[in-house]
Amino acid sequence: MSKIVLVTGATSGFGKATAEIFASNKHNVIITGRRKERLDELKNELEQKYGIKVYSLSFDVRNREEAFSSINSLPQEWRAIDVLVNNAGLAAGRDHFDDASMEDWENMLDTNVKGLLYVTKAVLPFMTERKKGHIINLGSTAAKEVYEKGNVYCATKHAVDALSQSMRIDLLKHKIKVTAIHPGAAETEFSMVRFKGDKAQADKIYEGYQPLSAEDVANVIYYTTSLPEHVCINDLVLTCLAQANSFYTHK
Ligand code: NDP
Ligand code: 8X3
């Protein structure tokens, strides 16, 4: 049966690939992000290629009012959201704690933690009233281990891990599944954002091994939604073959 899937951060990387895999499996998708032109382009592409419906909402997850008013502006027929993929997020900078920028810290906390909370809280009433839903939160291997110069990024992902566990307990009474997905290094726009457009620094992260792709992660996200009603993957770590954990990559 066709589902309605809301993906945050669908203008790039995992979010874009996730919107595509759901669309290719004949599900209707709500795509969100700040870059409206990319959303418009993706909407046209997915509708034409797969014959499904796409609804696009452009907003900044850091802005609580915008997040709520955007989600509450959804027409009635789009409110029966079956799957929410909380993917929008970023790392900003990679510096020792004493050198790191407070603006970067606030940006990561506001996006990765508060943004995820706003979107979830706005979507939840649509799920609780139907006693049905699946929330998928993008953590990271950085949610499991803290690495040098990872300080606040790792803290935001540890928060996503803790919140996923907590949502799972509190939302069970509404029959809502909560899955946390923790990818290791994946080549998307992530490192370009982290290193503020420094391509040489970004490329270096993926040198000497084959990292995950956005499609690899999207396939796993999709898989977790394809299981029988009574089965839930709670927590899943995935890395490329060359990576064992946050600290060890065999190059
Ligand atoms: P990308 O940079 O390719 O994509 C990030 C997406 O998040 C974009 O669509 C961007 O859209 C959106 N986004 C960022 N900030 C905001 C905001 N304030 N409001 C709304 N949307 C926002 O990165 P990835 O696809 O790699 O990352 C996706 C998630 O996966 C993140 O949470 C990241 O932390 C996590 N992750 C990434 C890994 C990696 O190695 N790539 C590994 C593990 C986890 P726009 O700019 O248009 O708003
Ligand atoms: C992204 C992977 O290793 O940069 O979450 O933290 S890492």
Reported as a single tens digit per residue, the pLDDT across 188-227 is 999 999 999 999 999 999 999 999 999 999 999 999 999 9
Residue 36: inside a domain: yes
Which tokens hold the place of 151?
């300080």
CATH of the domain at 223: 3.40.50.720
162 found inside a domain: yes
Ligand 1 contact via 218 beta carbon (within 6 Å): no
- The contacts found for 230-236 with CB under 8 angstroms, 24 or more apart, are 232/177, 232/178, 232/179, 233/179, 234/164, 234/168, 234/178, 234/179, 234/180, 235/161, 235/164, 235/179, 235/180, 235/182, 236/179, 236/180, 236/181, 236/182
In a domain, 248, yes or no: no
Residue with tokens 């690495």: 147
Half-sphere exposure at residue 143, Cβ-oriented, CA atoms within 13 angstroms: 25
Helix (H, G, I), strand (E, B) or coil at 169: helix
pLDDT digits (tens, 9 = 90+) for 101-110: 999 999 999 9
Q: Which atom of ligand 1 is nearest to the CA of 38?
A: 47
> Does the residue 201 lie in any domain?
yes
pLDDT at residue 213 in the model: 99
In ligand 2, which atom is closest to the CA atom of 150?
Answer: 6
DSSP assignment, residue 8? S
* Helix or strand holding residue 127 (H, E): helix 116-128
Q: Within 13 A of 89's CA, how many CA atoms are on the CB side? A: 25
211 lines ligand 1 (CB under 6 A): no
> What sign for the dihedral angle of Cα 106, 31, 224, 205?
negative
Where the chain has pLDDT below 50, the residues are: none
Tokens of 32: 């969100």
Residue 61 backbone phi and psi in degrees, to 5? -65, -15
For residue 97, what are the domain limits? Answer: 4-238
Residue 249 maps to a domain: no
How high is the ipTM of this complex?
A: 0.99
Q: Which of 50, 55, 118, 153 is labelled catalytic? A: 153
How do residues 184-195 score in pLDDT, each as one tens digit? 999 999 999 999
Indicate the Cα dihedral angle 228, 74, 136, 168, nearest 10°. -80
Tell whether 39 is covered by a domain. yes
DSSP state letters, 188-241 = SSHHHHHTTT-HHHHHHHTTTS--EEHHHHHHHHHHHTSS-TT----EEEE--T
* Measured distance CA(142)–CA(85) in Å, rounded: 19
Contact 36 CB / ligand 1 (< 6 Å): no
74 belongs to a structural domain: yes
9 lies in a domain? yes
CB atoms < 10 A from the CB of 145, how many? 15
pLDDT for 28 equals: 98
Split into its structural domains, the chain has a count of 1
Q: What is the pLDDT of residue 122?
A: 99
Instruction: Name residue 16's amino acid.
Output: K
Q: Is 153 a catalytic residue?
A: yes
CB 12 within 8 A of CB 90: no
Q: Please, which residues have CB within 8 angstroms of residue 156's CB and are 6 or more apart in sequence?
A: 89, 108, 109, 112, 113
State which ligand 1 atom lies nearest to the alpha carbon of 91. Answer: 34
